[in-house]
Structure 1
Amino acid sequence: MRIAQAEVDRTLRVAERIHANRPLMSAAMDKIADVLLEDPTAPLELSITELAERAGTSPATVTRFCRQLGYPGYVQFRVGVATDSGRGDTSNSEETWRAEMGRALDPDDTPEDVLRALLNAHVRSLRATADVLDLDIAASVAHQIGAARHLDIYGTGGSFAMAEEMRTRLYRIGVNAHAWGDVHAGLASASILDEQAIAIGISNSGRTRETLDMLDRAKLTGAHTVAITSFRNSPLAQTADCTLLASVPEQYLHPADLSAKHSQLFVLDVLYLLVAQLDYSATVARIAASADAVASHRRPD
């Protein structure tokens, strides 16, 4: 189950939808995406047959592509493209595109430009992640976390920071969670898991060797494995038993930018809250107890 399409689609532009849904696309749809990202206004000049020919695919695939993005058909898709391109209101269209769609940071950007670009990038990442997040899988993973005797969370670099944040939250509400960023320590932990354990690997690219090795070892021991990544077809996703997508529509400066971390944390936050709901009374009691334990270390108002 995904969030109701209408709730998200009214805030997402065509290019954002393409980036967000690309991990879910077939090879044929990928060709259409390439054409449209290179020439965003092509549908305004091309019929469905002509667009299919340019992409080297079929009109039926174009229709499926439109539906994948949340449009009932090609006509509605063209309306979305026309709206985004500013047809009928072309005043300052370049500046509108830059401000709304985002782009790589320029060395001459003002602080206000930087702020706007970053805010737009992060908001788009969260919206795109909400659009592709499979809530049925998320709910299933949350139940498995609640029932597991042991939870390992693997990640390196910035992804380890996300793993450690999740470990702290879950441990506070009674989950036996552990975060591993060092591959040797992670492999040692993964080697003693079993069918009653769950392991989560976090990697934006899905290609980080250390995270792959740790999750693969956990799977060999019988643990249920989960990937959190931006790419459904990545090695990490292919290794895991199930995948939760943390979508990053664009990179503004570096492939490991913070918008990826925000998307990962968003997915982890959903998981945390779903786990917390499993035994709400116990969750509230544990949070209250841990808050009371550190209360004396806070300075009074």
Structure 2
Amino acid sequence: MTIWIFMMAMVSQATATDNGLTVSGRVKARLADMPAAMTKIADLLLESPSAPLELSITELADQAGTSAATVTRFCKLIGYSGYTQFRVGVASDIGRGDAHESWSTDIGREFHPEDTPREVVRTLLNEHVRALEATAGMFDLDAVQAVARAIATCRHLDIYGIGGSAVMAGELQGRLYRIGVNAHCWGDVHGGLTSASLQSKNSVAIGISNSGRTDETVQMLSQAASAGAFTIAITHETSSPLSATADITIGTAAPDLYLQPDDLSAKHSQLMVLDLLYLLVAQENFAETAAKLAASAMAVSGHRRPRRPGRENDRLSLRIQGDLS
């Protein structure tokens, strides 16, 4: 605990005194004022910025061809009280660099930490629209119609997905179940494999995976195929192992690099496929679908608070009064 408190204090001190300059920025700023011995240290640091984290003060001096005392004077010249604080400054710089690199990798190239909320909204909207348009352009509507008919007439439907794709599987299951499809979703491979093994030629199985390379989803869909089920893959990677397992693949737009690793535009593309399947299945027996939707709506109606008559008019009146006052 004492060491941790000491290091935190050192980081705070280094951050408070760096005036926004990195260690290399400080070195370059004072390079013209350095004697020859310190210039050797500067050259070493500019070539290997992380060297102080790996070397003691003596080892750094040896590599630079100077003395430990000169290293200490060098640290003070660029604004640090000693070698320990200097090393904290170096670590802080590397941490900042890693943070930007991580942001670029995990969040993406289209977004920046300094973006305003308006810029974030505009970028998100553009990316989502692009993903939806690309997905719509990929549809083989005859194949999608065949999938919808198979779902509407199947004895049992399994939907498999892991992680974020499990959420999509649950979404489709909930919609189809409400209109009378015997649908089940599985985000756990043990349960999914058990269910898949009980499939038959009168069953349908859907595997959802953005990459098409999630082992558990591939295993579950493969097991369903072995049991005789009609299998569908929903993925952006049409040459993936999941696609190779399926009878039909419904493609979604490949995720842009703008948002990684779990890119939101992929979810919107997947939802578009789910919406399309749901609507086409509902059309297969419209009268029965309408009756089931009405029955399910009636069943939950008692759990919804009624709207107060005239509430919108009351709000409008209050707004007008506020504008006039």
Judge same fold: TM > 0.5, yes or no.
yes
**Contact 2:255 2:265 (8 Å CA) reproduced:** no
- The alignment's TM-score, normalised by the length of structure 1, stands at 0.65
Q: Which residue of 2 aligns with 1:205?
A: 211
Query: Residue 131 of structure 1 is aligned with which of 125, 129, 137?
Result: 137
Query: Residue 114 of structure 2 is aligned with which of 98, 108, 128?
Result: 108
Q: How many Å separate the matches in 1 of 2:213 and 2:262? A: 12
Q: Which residue of 2 aligns with 1:186?
A: 192
Deviations 1:19-67 (A, max 9, x none): xxxxxxxxxxxxxxxxxxxxxxxxxxxxxxxxxxxxxxxxxxxxxxxxx
State the Cα distance separating 1:252 from its structure 2 match: 1.7
Q: How many Å separate the matches in 2 of 1:174 and 1:147? A: 10
Please, which runs of 5 or more residues in structure 2 have no aligned partner? Answer: 1-107, 308-325
**Contact 1:103 1:117 (8 Å CA) reproduced:** no
- The question of 1:276 aligning with 2:291 is answered no
Q: Which residue of 1 aligns with 2:9?
A: none
- The question of 1:171 aligning with 2:181 is answered no
Q: How many Å separate the matches in 1 of 2:255 and 2:221? A: 26
State the Cα distance separating 1:168 from its structure 2 match: 0.5
Runs of 4+ in 1 over 3 A off after TM superposition: none
Q: How many Å separate the matches in 2 of 1:146 and 1:298? A: 30
**Larger proportion of helix:** 2
- The question of 1:241 aligning with 2:247 is answered yes
Q: How many Å separate the matches in 2 of 1:103 and 1:133? A: 28
Tell me, what secondary structure is at the counterpart of 2:249? strand
- The question of 1:142 aligning with 2:148 is answered yes
Q: How many Å separate the matches in 1 of 2:257 and 2:116? A: 19
Tell me, what secondary structure is at the counterpart of 1:179? strand
Tell me, what secondary structure is at the counterpart of 1:198? strand
Q: Which residue of 2 aligns with 1:89?
A: none
**Contact 1:187 1:214 (8 Å CA) reproduced:** yes
Identity of aligned residues (%): 60
Larger radius of gyration: 2
Which AA in structure 2 matches 1:222? G
- The question of 1:299 aligning with 2:305 is answered yes
Q: How many Å separate the matches in 1 of 2:147 and 2:217? A: 19
**Contact 2:177 2:183 (8 Å CA) reproduced:** yes
State the Cα distance separating 1:248 from its structure 2 match: 3.1
Count of residues in correspondence between the two structures: 200
Q: How many Å separate the matches in 2 of 1:299 and 1:257? A: 36
Deviations 1:208-230 (A, max 9, x none): 01100100100000001100000
Higher RCO, 1 vs 2 (CA within 8 Å, ≥6 residues apart): 1
What does residue range 151-162 of structure 1 map to in structure 2 within 5 Å? 151-162=157-168
Tell me, what secondary structure is at the counterpart of 2:111? coil
Please, which runs of 5 or more residues in structure 1 have no aligned partner? Answer: 1-101
- The question of 1:222 aligning with 2:236 is answered no
Deviations 1:48-96 (A, max 9, x none): xxxxxxxxxxxxxxxxxxxxxxxxxxxxxxxxxxxxxxxxxxxxxxxxx
Q: How many Å separate the matches in 1 of 2:240 and 2:255? A: 16
Q: How many Å separate the matches in 2 of 1:188 and 1:131? A: 36
Which AA in structure 2 matches 1:276? A
Q: Which residue of 1 aligns with 2:85?
A: none
State the Cα distance separating 1:146 from its structure 2 match: 0.8
Q: How many Å separate the matches in 1 of 2:192 and 2:137? A: 32
Q: Which residue of 2 aligns with 1:4?
A: none
Q: How many Å separate the matches in 2 of 1:251 and 1:226? A: 26
Tell me, what secondary structure is at the counterpart of 2:167? helix
State the Cα distance separating 1:284 from its structure 2 match: 0.5
State the Cα distance separating 1:103 from its structure 2 match: 4.8
